[in-house]
Amino acid sequence: MTAVSRSLRSPSFARSLLLGGLLAAALFVLSGCALLPRNPEPGRTTFSAPLVSLPVVLTANTPVIEIPRNKSGPWRFLVDTGSSVTLVSPEFAAHAGRRGATPEAAGVSVRSAGGEVITLPAVTLRRLDLGDVRFESVPAVVYDFDALSDHFGERIDGVLGFPLFRETVLTLDYPQSTLHLTPAGSSGGLMPGARLRFDPANRVPLVPLEVAGQAVNALVDTGSDGGLQLNPAGLALRFVQPPVAGAKVATLTGDRQQRLGRIEDHARLGTHILSQPIIDVNDSLSSLGGGVLRHFVATFDQSRGELTLFRDPGTSLATPAMRSGGLSFRRTPAYWRVSHVIADSPAARAGIQEGDLVIRIEGEPVANWTLRRYDAVIARASALQLTFLHGLQERTERIEFFTLVP
């Protein structure tokens, strides 16, 4: 599941890309907390090799895989275990789809961020090839990804949902930026690491997470670049740093302001311990996004209902302090619109207002800034120089980063 407003902050805890929202007026069906009605299962999955390994590009801890095409560059898909359905662009649907006459093919009802229900067209993809793995008769939903592509600064052609991989063992090796696929059951239960059970009938992986000695179910959501999102209901949480207001992100029910804090207690994933993590406190489903998963080799075996998490014992799971510049954006190719300004932040004191347009970053047009480049810069920067357009007036401000959550 993913979100959309992008925050001027370190990517170490960037809950900004959840495809559960896509900009203010976007729909969404991607998240496990918004499951679709039962769709037909994908058809046959065929392997031409016993192990298929493909490179992935991690954009803000979100895995993107490229599929070759003809002259106009590769197709790009997000791999999203938090999605209960595969979504494709109209262009890819025209390329690979066949429209059927079954009731399921008539369309799928989804709810928009404003709460209204609309119907998206359904399509059955004749085939979808990931290297030497062929997926046939894949049920999908057609969605316009222009807004998300603008947000990434690169074209996105679809989202590969969790049910697509039901006849495979899917491994996402975050440290090596690699995706591995083997036939279902081929792992033999011998993968190293901590094993967590989930029910494949849910169509998304919900695994047990222990927080402060209490058990909760958490969605393992590779489509989110966030860290640990917790619903505090029933949990006696103790905080080192009480929750503070963070950025605003788009959700199924409209924009939601983050509440971010560091808990005194540990979170346990099998044998792995997240010591005093920063959490995003909210009233929806608890989840683990790329901010946590980036430390692991994550293997999803739907035939066994098992997630295996392995990491190098020498790596740390500590959550660093979270920095922020106090701004969230909605991106277009020509400008980034300020969607939120954190109170008392350097940006607020500089007089930046919601609705202001960022037209240049470090003197370059925003069209030159992909999400990957932006994240690489803010990971090491102490400040960024932004040129704003307010009405007809341009002004350039140096926006300092500050510690939002120690």
CATH of the domain at 141: 2.40.70.10
Together in a domain, 161 and 49:
yes
CATH of the domain at 349: 2.30.42.10
Together in a domain, 136 and 173:
yes
Give 256-290 pLDDT, tens digit per residue.
788 999 999 899 999 999 999 999 998 888 999 99
Together in a domain, 177 and 209:
no
Check pLDDT > 70 for residue 151.
yes
In three-state secondary structure terms, 392 is coil
Residue 187: band (very low, low, confident or very high) from pLDDT cuts 50, 70, 90: low
Together in a domain, 19 and 161:
yes
Give 18-68 pLDDT, tens digit per residue.
222 232 223 333 333 333 444 455 679 999 999 999 999 998 889 999 998
pLDDT (0 to 100) of residue 301: 95
Structure tokens at 313: 């014992």
**Within-domain flag for 303:** no
Together in a domain, 212 and 344:
no
Please, how many CA atoms are within 13 Å of residue 230, restricted to the half-sphere of its CB?
A: 27
Structure tokens at 175: 């440290």
Cα dihedral 221→35→253→246 (10° resolution): -10
pLDDT (0 to 100) of residue 307: 96
Together in a domain, 131 and 27:
yes
Strand 287-288 with 278-281, pairing? unpaired
Check pLDDT > 60 for residue 175.
yes
- Cα distance between residue 126 and residue 8, in whole Å: 41
**Within-domain flag for 311:** no
Percent of the chain scored above 70 by pLDDT? Answer: 82
Weakest mean pLDDT among 242-256, 274-288, 331-345 = 242-256
Give 60-101 pLDDT, tens digit per residue.
889 999 998 877 779 999 999 998 889 999 999 999 987 554
**Within-domain flag for 198:** no
Unique residue bearing structure tokens 């929202």: 21
**Within-domain flag for 295:** no
Give 368-399 pLDDT, tens digit per residue.
988 778 877 877 888 999 999 877 889 999 99
Together in a domain, 140 and 235:
no
**Within-domain flag for 293:** no
Together in a domain, 330 and 269:
no
**Within-domain flag for 156:** yes
What letter represents residue 10's amino acid? S
What letter represents residue 145's amino acid? F
Together in a domain, 169 and 72:
yes
**Within-domain flag for 118:** yes
pTM (two decimals): 0.86
pLDDT (0 to 100) of residue 257: 81
Q: Which domain holds residue 11?
A: 6-183
Q: Residue 55: how many CB atoms within 10 A of its CB?
A: 11
Together in a domain, 74 and 41:
yes
**Within-domain flag for 269:** yes
Structure tokens at 229: 């999102």
Check pLDDT > 80 for residue 115.
no
Together in a domain, 15 and 82:
yes
